[in-house]
Structure 1
Amino acid sequence: MHDADVTWEEGKQICVAWGGVMVVPRFEGEMQHLDTMSSGQWFLIGCNDIQTEGTWVCLDGGTIDVQDKRWEYNQPDNYYNEDCAEVRAAGWNDIPCDLITRNLICQRSV
């Protein structure tokens, strides 16, 4: 976990420099592990809808459905042109890519 708050794009670059990508939690067990690891702090995840609004793609090559149960209630909402994703206590949330800073967790293949 990277303790300094960074923007989504900064986080993407940091993870690449470390040989990985921003974390994309795919399973409940991963979410629980990451929540423990982050001590309940909010953190960035490697998914965005920058290219096409409403089409969420992830840095691990996958996608996220906007109906996915991991999104918080009424999210993603694109309220302030929010094209990047974070994890909060209640679930995933969309945020502006360059205005909000959060902690960062990177993942790499073994």
Structure 2
Amino acid sequence: MSNKGDQLINQLALLCAEDEWIYYQSSCFYISSEAKNWTESREYCLNREADMIIINNRQKQDFVRKITDKRGFWIGVTDIDVEGTWKWVDGSTLTSGIWASGEPNGEIRENCAVTYLTYLPELIGWIDVACDDAYQWICEKSILPHIQS
């Protein structure tokens, strides 16, 4: 990458760090330290011009696993509108996920998803849980619109 490109990435990383967010692939990520239900967690993100994280590739999942130390965190996917049809918070349909074995298990009240849980080692991947449960969450905010303005 060019020297100017390196400088830009460093500036973007600093922008994220100023607000205690983490820079990765043109986005800033916020890792909560408290636990809320899925709706409250999403509202927290939306109030900060962000949304819950969308994990649409293995590299991003590996990043999440690293920053969460394999603990359970809300992610921005739900099947609350149509049971069995998982959609990301941006409205796109989940085409392939990194679900744990046997997940999602189709329980009607489990309409939201969390990342890895270390206290259940057999569940290496996402699991569906009740949206009213309390977990920490991850917000994602793209910084690209800020560069263009």
- Corresponding residue of 2:141: 108
Alignment equivalent of 2:109, drawn from 42, 57, 81: 81
1:25/1:69 Cα in 2 relative to 1: closer, same or farther (>3 Å)? closer
CA distance in 1, matches of 2:113, 2:71: 14
Please state whether the residue corresponding to 1:71 is helix, strand or coil. coil
CA distance in 2, matches of 1:79, 1:60: 24
- Corresponding residue of 2:44: 14
CA distance in 1, matches of 2:97, 2:48: 30
Contact 1:12 1:21 in 2 (8 A): yes
- Corresponding residue of 1:29: 59
Of Structure 1 and Structure 2, which has the larger fraction of its residues in strand?
Answer: 1
TM-score by length of 2: 0.67
Counterpart of 1:91 in structure 2: which amino acid? G
Q: How many residues align?
A: 107
Of Structure 1 and Structure 2, which has the larger fraction of its residues in helix?
Answer: 2
Cα offset, 1:69, TM superposition: 5.1
Cα offset, 1:43, TM superposition: 0.4
- Corresponding residue of 1:96: 130
CA deviations 1:58-83 (Å, max 9, x no partner) are: 11232114xx3511111111336101
CA deviations 1:21-41 (Å, max 9, x no partner) are: 100111111111111111221
Instruction: Tell me: higher relative CO, structure 1 or 2? Use CA pairs within 8 A at least 6 residues apart.
Output: 1
Structure 1's unaligned 5+ residue stretches are none
Alignment equivalent of 1:54, drawn from 81, 84, 93: 84
Name which one, 1 or 2, has greater alpha-carbon Rg.
2
CA RMSD of aligned residues (A): 1.4
Structure 2's unaligned 5+ residue stretches are 1-30, 118-123, 144-149
Please state whether the residue corresponding to 2:91 is helix, strand or coil. coil
Counterpart of 1:107 in structure 2: which amino acid? E
TM-score by length of 1: 0.89
Contact 1:48 1:84 in 2 (8 A): yes
